[in-house]
């Protein structure tokens, strides 16, 4: 998911990016902060980090890849970590530790 545009709140950016990239709408009243995950940026000098702020929300529609996305697929906590970003690995580990995924 992308970044905030000037003047956008996190929630506004989340709603816009999910709509643009996955073709679904979020139920705004269901949006809840989940957590912030931070890790070394892949291929960048030491100390350059990626910070990913995550939310949970209900959606309307079926997610489908847009022109910006080559492939869309579900992953499990047993996914090969080499196929994920470091922040993605941290997120999956956290979801599994909280029994939110298998």
* pLDDT value at residue 64: 92
pTM, two decimals, is 0.84
- Residue ranges and CATH numbers for the domains of the chain are 10-97 (3.90.79.10)
Show contacts of 81-86: CB within 8 Å, 24+ apart. Answer: 85/39, 85/42, 85/50, 86/39, 86/40, 86/42, 86/50
The percentage of the chain sitting over the pLDDT mark of 90, rounded to a whole number, equals 72
If one compares 76 and 21, the residue with the highest pLDDT of the two is 21
**Do the beta carbons of residue 48 and residue 40 sit within 8 Å?**
yes
Confidence check: pLDDT of 48 > 60? yes
Cα–Cα dist 70/8, whole Å: 26
**Do the beta carbons of residue 34 and residue 73 sit within 8 Å?**
no
* pLDDT value at residue 1: 52
pLDDT in tens, 33-42: 999 999 999 8
In 3D, which of 21, 24, 17, 22 has the Cα closest to residue 3?
Answer: 17
If one compares 2 and 26, the residue with the highest pLDDT of the two is 26
What is the sign, positive or negative, of the torsion defined by CA atoms of 14, 18, 21, 23? negative
């Amino acid at each position: 998911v992308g970044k905030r545009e000037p003047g956008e709140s996190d929630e506004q950016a989340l709603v816009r990016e999910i709509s643009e990239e996955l073709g679904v709408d979020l139920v705004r009243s269901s949006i809840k902060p989940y957590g912030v995950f931070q890790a070394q940026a892949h291929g960048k000098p030491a100390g350059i980090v990626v910070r990913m702020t995550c939310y949970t929300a209900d959606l309307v529609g079926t997610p489908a890849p847009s022109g910006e996305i080559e492939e869309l697929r579900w992953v499990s906590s047993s996914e090969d970590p080499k196929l994920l970003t470091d922040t993605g690995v941290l997120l999956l580990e956290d979801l599994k530790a909280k029994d939110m995924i298998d």
